[in-house]
Structure 1
């Protein structure tokens, strides 16, 4: 079987692979949480929150693909299986059923905050071993922080 070889030294590859895997899990879960809330949001601000949630889903899905492909390029198979995401995500679970618009906003503020905190740790961890991966994390974090700001502004 052919195996993809990393251009990074083994020690650096391990650090970067862990950061990428963690980011992948968080992004997949963020997209699922945002979609779950999107389908169940109710209230007077339904449309605004509903559309904002789709923006978060689009960002999370776009970057999850970028992160997974970067992981593969570095010789590590990415793992976004449901069991892996459930076990490793840093995002709290969302309750089932209808969710009031104000609560939906709060859920997203907390979910985004959790992911951003972990992404900032990954930015630091990848500084020396792989500036290319760090650059992906910086762009991703900037986009997540924009969503975080917009949901906070919606919260009032």
Structure 2
């Protein structure tokens, strides 16, 4: 985070220094889930092609769930005595990933790009889970629950990218553009 995290108080049984780090981890995931639900909605609006309706309708429940994750993360920050930051400028300033790069494109192109998006989000959640095991099992449990759902959504995306042998069309892609090309 760009700013120094300040707490008004913290929850009983959690040291202030541990709570500060937990709030930082929560804020990072709040930024990621806010960005993800907006990205998913962007894809929902910009997807075209023969499988348009299937992908269009598959994404709305993901948007709703991920938006709910954002709310849960923000409320946990407040519970720990922090102040959640949800402004667009702060999100852009603090994020460590690039802007989603695909505009109007086919279902396969967007799904290929989303494969990489979900990989990044899930990897960062899992890194947070490892750190939270020592700091705060309550927040760790929240991260585990959200990761479970994100991995399910990722599977939905990947099911469209697999051949009958289970090989992903996006294997080896390092950017959204590469993944979109590989998937199309």
Q: 2:61 aligns with which of 38, 46, 55?
A: 55
SS in 2 for 1:31: helix
**1:20-35 paired onto structure 2 within 5 Å:** 20-35=26-41
SS in 2 for 1:113: helix
Structure 2: gaps (5+ residues): 1-6, 163-184
SS in 1 for 2:134: coil
2:40·2:62 contact (CA, 8 Å) conserved in 1?
Answer: yes
Structure 1: gaps (5+ residues): none
Q: Deviation per CA, 1:4-46: give whole Å up to 9, x if none.
A: 4102211211210111000000000000100011001000110
1:94: Cα distance to partner? 2.4
Alignment RMSD: 1.4
Aligned residues: 154
Q: 1:124 aligns with which of 127, 130, 134?
A: 130
Task: Find the counterpart in structure 2 of residue 145 from structure 1.
Answer: 151
**1:61-140 paired onto structure 2 within 5 Å:** 61-95=67-101, 97-140=103-146
Return the alpha-carbon distance in structure 2 between the equivalents of residues 152 and 20 of structure 1: 27
SS in 2 for 1:44: coil
2:102·2:110 contact (CA, 8 Å) conserved in 1?
Answer: no
Return the alpha-carbon distance in structure 1 between the equivalents of residues 105 and 61 of structure 2: 18
What is the TM-score when the length of structure 2 is the normalising length?
A: 0.79
Moved over 6 A (4+): none
Q: Deviation per CA, 1:79-102: give whole Å up to 9, x if none.
A: 121012122334432236411110
2:102·2:113 contact (CA, 8 Å) conserved in 1?
Answer: no
Return the alpha-carbon distance in structure 1 between the equivalents of residues 142 and 109 of structure 2: 31
Return the alpha-carbon distance in structure 2 between the equivalents of residues 80 and 4 of structure 1: 18
User: Which structure has the higher relative contact order (CA within 8 Å, separation 6+)?
Assistant: 1
Q: 2:45 aligns with which of 18, 24, 39?
A: 39
